[in-house]
Every structure is written in C-alpha cells, then in structure tokens.
Amino acid sequence: MLRTLLFLSLTALASAAEISFSRQIAPILIDQCGECHRAGKAKGSYRLDTVELMLKPGDSETAPVVAAKPDESELYRLIATHEEDDRMPKKADALSEKEIKLIREWIVSGANLDVADKKATLRAIVPEQEKVQAPEKYPRPLPVTALALNPAGNTLACSGYFEANLWDTATGKLQARIGGMPERILSLAWITEAQFAVAGGVPGRSGEVWLVNPSQPEERKRLVSARDCVLAMVASPDGKLLACGGADNQVRCFELPSGKLKWQIEPHADWIMGMSFSPDSQHIATASRDRTAKRIDAAKGEIEATFTGHDCAVLSVAFSPDSKETISGDVEGEIRRWDRNGAAKKDGTLKPGGRTEMLALGFLDAETPLAAMGSGAVVSMDAKARKTKDKITRYEDRVNVLLLQRMDKTVRIITGCHDGKVRINEIGKAEPVLQFVASPGW
C-alpha cells in the first residue's frame, strides 16, 4: 500500500513538473489578465508585460509567485478566491477550474520557467501555434478586407482565410497562395517585389504583422504579436518605414527592410481604425473610434496635431497630394478636411453618400477626394463645391478597401467589397476593366 501511494505521489509530481510555462501558463495570463496589467494600465501597479515583471509584487507587496507554495502566491490566491470583490480578473468571468488547477500545479511543481530571457514579453515566449490550412476551394466568397498592389502593378495581393492570395491584374487569375498567415487579414502593404507585409489577427485574441517574400514565402518574419487585432497598416512611399495600429490602441513603426522597431506609442484612447502615410513619407495620420484623428511625425513618433471635429467614430484617413492637408471619414457619413495643425478647413465638411460609413479614402488630385462607403458606392468629390463629382462604381455590399494605381495615361481605382468581389475601374470608363471574385475556387 505504501509503495502504491509513493508511486502515485511521484507520478503526480512528474506530471506537474512537465507543465510548460511558455506553452500552458503564459497563454492563460495573456488572455485573462494581460489587458489590465500592462504598461500604461497596470492595476494595482502589477504588470504582466514580461516574465521579469510578472514575478515582481504590485501594491500589495506580496510575492505573485512563491515556488511550491500556491497558497502564498498572490497571483494564484487572487484567481482562486471565491470572494467576488477580490477575485481576478475583475468584472469578468472567473478562470475555469481547469485553468486554476493548472496554475496551481505549475506552482506546486516549482514554478519552473522554460524561458531563456526573463525580460521577454509573455507573448514573445509563447510558441507560435500551427496555422490552420486554408481550404482548397472556398465554400463561399470571403469578404475582401485588404488589398495591395505590387510595384510593377501586375499582381494584386488580397486577403484570404489564413492566407494571402495573389491575382493577375490583367486576367483576374489566381497566381499564388501564401499560407501560414493570420486568420483574418485586415491590411496588406507591398513594399518591394521581394517584400510585402501582412497584418490582422483574431478579434479579442491576437494581432499579428508579418514581413514576407512573396516569391519565397518561407522567408518571413513576424514583427508584431499583439493582444488584439492589427486593423490598419501603411508603408511609406519611399519604402523605408512600415506603421501599424489596431485594437490595442498602439501605433508601431518599423524600419524597412530590416523590420526593426523604430518607435511605439499609444496616441488614442480607443481602437485605431485607419491609417495613411503622407506622400512625402514624413507623416502618419490615424483614425480612431475615440472620435479623433491625429497627425504623427513618422521619424520621431511624436503627435503633431489632433483633429477633434468628428462627433462619432473615425474610420478612415488620407493625406492630400502635397502632404499638407488631411481628410478623415466617420461612421455617420461625414468627411472632414483639416490642416497640419489639426484645425478644420473652412467649409471643409463633405457628405458624399448620406448616413453611411466612410470606410476608405483617397485623392485623385488636390481638390478631388475619393470615398469608398458602407452603402456600396465609390465616388469622387469636388472639394470646393462640396458635392459628388463622379460615381465610379457601385457594389451591393460595403466597400472595405480602396487603392489607386497611377499609370502613364490614366488612373485606376481598385476596390474590394464585403461580397468578395474586386473591381478595377479606370477614370473615364463607365464599366470596370476587370472584375473577379477573390476567393480560390470562385
């Protein structure tokens, strides 16, 4: 009997000793606790940004983790308590019994850290999960949420399901499928023929940005592993910088082609919905659900101006051709013009399509803004007359993305719709020069 008990005890300890902090414990802490215990929002002065900070006490001055002693570990005590006022996470469901038990067993076994660098963020130490394989043929068209044109102008990258798909702009034929990408791709940027960027994630769960060589997809580098979706991303026209923002309210700027982080700031109090790089590559504009748009110095990461003229969430933003003026579009159908100081332009409010979202913006020239809308319309506007100038195309669903391709004798406007269609229109032509469903098998 004694041998049996001893064997069971040793087996239990061996099982507990196999618990991996990076694979099993860190993901729980990221999902359940990371939002309230991060830089700029560390409740109780306790942070979970890095492994090193996770082990430091907060205001309670009680050790968060005491090896082999879960009941003396403040982290465990607060997630396991039945006292509603004390339990963590606050104002959210308690951790599952399975998760609480796993954390307890990890501490009992010695709170081992299978981590090479304790200064690393928790997200950085979590092994990358194997991506789901995209279906050979899509069962239905997937909404087009991101587009990017290669520098040669003959290949269009389009969002897919765990993949980015490359399409021939002359025929609409599928050229290549690049797998291992975020589940939802929400932004694309094609920098050089050998490098393009992919951003997205899973709402409320993860955000990612990747640099990929489209001709050799195994050559890739993950730049961002965030706690929520990366919703917007832009590359500077000179190809030297890449900036992204999203549901964690952060803006990150990277040097290209290296992908080295140049700066990171939190300029907004809510999600960053849209971004734009100025034509001179010196400034970044952001649009946010906090009802503001901002102008940021691209070299320093310093806020240059804040525009507060919107009364609702701001979804899109674009610079004028001379980089001096900015337009921003909101959820209630208004586009506002403002200067480099954040001051509204006189008679600068445009209403191109009624009470519908302004999802993407651009400029044909200094006085001709473009808008892609939730109503399905894509129009150009006369900024001086403050009225619609030309109806470029019309979809049956919301238009999520808009690109301009400037050619020798014409300008092409490339749009992607929620119904899965991509259209390429030329200024002056009533019908699209190309239209196709951007989902493999369709």
Cα 324 to Cα 233, 419, 441, distances in angstroms: 21, 35, 44
Report residue 17's pLDDT band, with 50, 70 and 90 as the boundaries.
low
Domains assigned to the chain: 12-125 (no CATH), 147-437 (2.130.10.10)
Say how far apart CA 57 and CA 44 lie, in whole Å.
9
Residues of the chain with pLDDT > 90, as a percent, come to 75
**pLDDT exceeds 50 at position 11:** no
Report residue 435's pLDDT band, with 50, 70 and 90 as the boundaries.
very high
Say how far apart CA 233 and CA 254 lie, in whole Å.
11
The pLDDT of residue 253 is: 98
**pLDDT exceeds 80 at position 424:** yes
Q: What is the arithmetic mean of pLDDT over 81-92? A: 83
**pLDDT exceeds 60 at position 7:** no
Which amino acid, residue 311? D
**pLDDT exceeds 50 at position 377:** yes
Q: Quickly tell me which residue has 């991509």 as its tokens.
A: 422
The 10s digit of each residue's pLDDT in 210-239 is 999 999 999 999 999 887 999 999 999 999
Q: Among 42-46, 171-175, 176-180, 239-243, where is mean pLDDT lowest?
A: 42-46
Cα 178 to Cα 97, 163, 394, distances in angstroms: 39, 5, 30
pTM score of the predicted model: 0.80
Determine which helix (DSSP H) or strand (DSSP E) holds 8, and give its type and residue range: helix 2-17
The pLDDT of residue 13 is: 45
Q: What is the mean pLDDT of the chain?
A: 91
Q: What is the arithmetic mean of pLDDT over 93-99? A: 88
* C-alpha angle 46-16-55 in degrees, rounded to nearest 5: 15
**pLDDT exceeds 90 at position 9:** no
Report residue 14's pLDDT band, with 50, 70 and 90 as the boundaries.
very low
Q: What is the arithmetic mean of pLDDT over 112-138? A: 84
Q: Quickly tell me which residue has 């009624």 as its tokens.
A: 354
Determine which helix (DSSP H) or strand (DSSP E) holds 75, and give its type and residue range: helix 74-80
The pLDDT of residue 8 is: 44
Neighbours of 209 (CB within 10 A): 26
The pLDDT of residue 206 is: 86
> Which regions of 59-173 does DSSP assign to beta strands (E)?
147-149, 155-159, 161-168
Show the DSSP H helices in 231-336 as ranges.
none
Higher-confidence residue: 52 or 359?
359
Q: What is the arithmetic mean of pLDDT over 328-345? A: 97
The pLDDT of residue 147 is: 98
Say how far apart CA 422 and CA 300 lie, in whole Å.
37
Say how far apart CA 181 and CA 90 lie, in whole Å.
33
The pLDDT of residue 86 is: 84
Say how far apart CA 442 and CA 313 lie, in whole Å.
35
**pLDDT exceeds 80 at position 115:** yes
**pLDDT exceeds 90 at position 128:** no
The pLDDT of residue 334 is: 97
Say how far apart CA 25 and CA 32 lie, in whole Å.
11
Say how far apart CA 308 and CA 298 lie, in whole Å.
21
Cα 286 to Cα 66, 93, 204, 304, 346, distances in angstroms: 44, 33, 21, 12, 21
The 10s digit of each residue's pLDDT in 248-305 is 999 999 999 999 999 999 999 999 999 999 999 999 999 999 999 999 999 999 999 9
Q: What is the arithmetic mean of pLDDT over 146-165? A: 97
Say how far apart CA 367 and CA 381 lie, in whole Å.
8
The pLDDT of residue 321 is: 97
Nearest CA-CA partner of 331 in 354, 358, 295: 358
Would you say 249 and 272 are in contact if contact means Cβ atoms under 8 Å apart?
yes
* C-alpha angle 438-439-442 in degrees, rounded to nearest 5: 100
Residues of the chain with pLDDT > 70, as a percent, come to 95
Say how far apart CA 188 and CA 185 lie, in whole Å.
8
Give the 3-state secondary structure of 335-346: EEEECCCCCEEE
- Residue 125 in 3-state DSSP? helix
